[in-house]
């Protein structure tokens, strides 16, 4: 073999190694896409190698997969993360109420079908706010697929609903009137109302990213959005009837659970986090001095906890 041939083989080998390293690096980066689910375009963010342990990130109200941007950016080097936007939220399709019934049953069905089509069949569920009723419906349908939970202000107990945050909604459940709808809209759907949901209970409100409520407000200004959100507020009462079944599921299956809960949440107070101890034995339990969206102030702590939890508890 000539010296020139040896040099060429070394160069080719180095190029192959560099290409492999580049491919692995690219997989760890956040990527974006849409999946056609029946007539809906479901937008999603993903990071990591799909052959690795999957974590499905289910967002809350009034946000989208945008809330998980730091989780995706931080953990894609070791795990596969996928965060869909629900129908009517974020960058997913926003069909009219005539074409799609906005209920937690339907949203859960759409997201479950999304996961089936994406071939995500073995996963940890990360649930926050609306992510809890969506995630628990999926878990009860496919208990064999769910390997554990990361719970971040994702409620499954009546003691986890505060009068402060839910009072007007409780009234709405009893008496669905235009007057109450106008009251809800004037408090919740305004720019200041949306900002309050991100900043209330935080240690440093001025440090919370304004993009959060500005993006939500832009989406909420689309014609028909207020009707969609009011329908979901009204349907939320049906989640309470499922609480006993969700609690039984937790008692029977005993999934490993990481709780990272903003204890100053006006909607889901710390009592909702404490209630999980009644049913689940294997909990890494963390109450954090922040508000409803704990990731906004505690992303480094939460992602570090998630890395350890996924390494040590998920088989």
Query: What does the pLDDT look like over 127-160, one tens digit per residue?
Result: 999 999 999 999 999 999 999 999 999 999 999 9
Confidence of residue 315 (pLDDT cuts 50, 70, 90): confident
Give the pLDDT score at 2.
53
Residue-range definition of the domain harbouring residue 128: 29-160+238-313
Give the pLDDT score at 22.
44
Give the pLDDT score at 47.
98
The answer to whether position 97 is within a domain reads: yes
Average pLDDT, the chain: 93
Is 187 a catalytic site residue?
Answer: no
Q: What percent of the chain has pLDDT over 90?
A: 90
The answer to whether position 154 is within a domain reads: yes
How many structural domains compose the chain? 1
CATH number at residue 52: 3.40.50.1820
Query: What does the pLDDT look like over 93-135, one tens digit per residue?
Result: 999 999 999 999 999 999 999 999 999 999 999 999 999 999 9
| Active-site residue, selected from the candidate residues 59, 66, 200, 292 | 292
The answer to whether position 19 is within a domain reads: no
The answer to whether position 126 is within a domain reads: yes
Q: Is the pLDDT of residue 200 over 50?
A: yes
The answer to whether position 176 is within a domain reads: no
SS3 track for the chain: CCHHHHHHHHHHHHHHHHHHHHHHHHHHCCEEEEEEECCEEEEEEEECCCCCCEEEEECCCCCCHHHHHHHHHHHCCCCEEEEECCCCCCCCCCCCCCCCCCCHHHHHHHHHHHHHHCCCCCEEEEECCCHHHHHHHHHHHCCCCEEEEEECCCCCCHHHCCHHHHHHHHHHHHCCCHHHHHHHHHHHCCHHHHHHHHHCCCCCHHHCCCHHHHHHHHHHCCCCHHHHHHHHHHHCHHHHHHHHHHHHHHHHHCCCEEEEEECCCCCCCHHHHHHHHHCCCCEEEEEECCCCCCHHHHHHHHHHHHHHHHHHHCC
The answer to whether position 18 is within a domain reads: no
Query: What does the pLDDT look like over 230-284, one tens digit per residue?
Result: 999 999 999 999 999 999 999 999 999 999 999 999 999 999 999 999 999 999 9
The answer to whether position 6 is within a domain reads: no
The whole-model pTM stands at 0.92
Query: What does the pLDDT look like over 269-303, one tens digit per residue?
Result: 999 999 999 999 999 999 999 999 999 999 999 99
Give the pLDDT score at 5.
47
Q: Is the pLDDT of residue 7 over 70?
A: no
The answer to whether position 300 is within a domain reads: yes
């Amino acid at each position: 073999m000539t010296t020139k041939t040896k040099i060429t083989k070394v160069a080719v080998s180095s190029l192959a190694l560099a290409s492999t390293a580049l491919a692995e690096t690219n997989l760890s980066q956040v990527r974006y896409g849409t999946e056609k689910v029946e007539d809906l375009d479901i937008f999603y963010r993903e990071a990591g190698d799909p052959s690795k342990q999957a974590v499905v990130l289910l967002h809350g109200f009034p946000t989208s997969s945008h809330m998980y941007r730091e989780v995706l950016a931080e953990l894609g080097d070791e795990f596969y993360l996928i965060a869909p936007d629900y129908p009517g939220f974020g960058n997913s399709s926003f069909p009219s109420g005539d074409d799609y019934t906005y209920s937690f049953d339907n949203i859960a069905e759409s997201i479950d079908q999304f996961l089936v089509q994406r071939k995500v069949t073995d996963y940890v569920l990360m649930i926050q706010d609306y992510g809890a009723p969506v995630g628990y419906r999926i878990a009860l349908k496919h208990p064999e697929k769910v390997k554990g939970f990361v719970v971040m202000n994702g409620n499954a107990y009546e003691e986890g609903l505060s009068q402060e945050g839910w009072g007007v909604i409780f009234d709405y459940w009893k008496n669905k009137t235009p007057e109450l709808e106008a009251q809800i809209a004037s408090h919740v759907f305004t720019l200041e109302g949306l900002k309050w949901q991100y900043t209330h209970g935080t240690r440093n409100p001025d440090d919370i990213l304004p993009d959060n409520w500005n993006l939500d407000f832009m989406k909420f200004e689309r014609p028909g959005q207020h009707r969609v959100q009011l329908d979901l507020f009204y349907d939320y009462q049906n989640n309470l009837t499922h609480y006993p079944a969700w609690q039984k599921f937790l008692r029977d299956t005993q999934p490993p659970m990481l709780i990272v809960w903003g204890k100053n949440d006006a909607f889901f107070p710390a009592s909702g986090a404490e209630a999980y101890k009644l049913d689940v034995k294997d909990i890494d339990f963390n109450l954090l001095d922040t508000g409803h969206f704990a990731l906004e102030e505690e992303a480094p702590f939460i992602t570090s906890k998630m890395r350890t939890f996924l390494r040590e508890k998920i088989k």
